[in-house]
Amino acid sequence: MRVMLLCVLLCAPLWAEKVWVGKPAPKFTAAGTLINAYEFGRTHADFEGDVIVVLEWNVRDLDSCKHMDKLQERWAKHGAKGLWVFAVHRLKENVRQVAKVVRKRGWGFCVAMGSFYDDDNDFSRYHHDDHVFRVTVIGIDGKAVYYDKTGFETALDAELKKLVYPGLGRHSVNARVSRTAKYFGERKFGHAISEAQKLLAANPAQEVVDDAELVVSRARALARKRNERIEEWVADKRYDLALPVLETMVDEFKGHEIGAEARTRLKAIEGDKSLKPELAAYAALKKLNEESDSLADDKMVEALRKFAADNAGRRAGGVAAQMAKELQADLDKRQGQ
């Protein structure tokens, strides 16, 4: 009996170190180089109550690319609304090469540069040491429901059917709060807060209060995080980052003062004549990046350096210079291997 107990105690941590179907999914961290990075989610805990897929792939592996196409079909319907995908690129192609493939095939979910390239993206517990690419599906209860090479679609579709209130952390609320929770799951945060506040104003039962306040606190926390980032970006003149988030705030918090405040700030930046040259420079840099697929890495470095020189003194020029520096460092690294 003692021997058996000792074995159980020694073996228990192994369940948490690798993927086991039916057990809580292992921890992961997406903190390095990401293509289509999510707004906030960087660890498994950030998506509590939602469905997560961790997929291993490589641009030269046709089977894994087909898996990515199947995921995109689900992403088109559920992406960022209860479904989160981390496609971990396992081999040595650089981020520009991978990004070209991602854009060409129209994949909208997050691609994390993995082992051999960026160790800050830690999905090591999702990879067994047999050089076989696998797919992991994590269900709404945080447990792995699938871990294998092919045929993940059935398990994934079954979990997606269980989604009721994406992003809320759970999928059951008091019946009187179901409407506001539904708004939240649809990312209509302004409507969700307004509906919840109407409920709270009527002095309802405590269970209604608890669920309504959960919706309000989650929506306001998201707005607070966004506004903190916007403040930092504006202070750094990173209007290329601030403006898209403000546009999202206007859309998702429509009908609430949070959305109205975002609209006012957006118009103020776009209407500031002193910022016109900087905003135009960022637009030109965006166009350069979108049209850069035909350029080899060394030619892209040259193009970025020229852009930086032409826009010296503007923050967009500094951003281009940093991009050129990072791409050149990657080139040097690969040439030295």
Q: pLDDT 10s per residue in the chain (337 long)?
A: 444 444 444 444 444 578 999 999 999 999 999 999 999 888 999 999 999 999 999 998 888 899 899 999 999 999 999 999 999 998 778 888 899 999 999 999 999 997 656 678 999 899 876 678 899 999 999 999 999 988 899 999 999 999 999 999 999 999 999 999 999 999 999 999 999 999 999 999 999 999 999 999 999 999 999 999 999 999 999 999 999 999 999 999 999 999 999 999 999 999 999 999 999 999 999 999 999 988 999 999 999 999 999 999 999 999 999 999 999 998 888 777 6
Q: Domains (ranges, CATH) in the chain?
A: 18-160 (3.40.30.10), 175-271 (no CATH), 276-335 (no CATH)
Pairing relationship of beta strands 144-148 and 121-122 according to DSSP bridges: unpaired
What is the pTM for the complete model shown?
0.88
Contacts 24+ apart (CB under 8 A), 169-176: 169/48, 169/49, 169/214, 169/218, 170/49, 171/49, 171/140, 173/211, 173/214, 173/215, 174/205, 174/207, 174/208, 174/211, 176/204, 176/208
Query: pLDDT digit string (tens) for 139-156?
Result: 999 999 999 988 899 999
The angle that helices 297-310 and 315-335 make with each other, rounded to 10 degrees, is 160
User: In Å, how far are 22, 68, 122 from 146, measured between CA atoms?
Assistant: 8, 16, 20
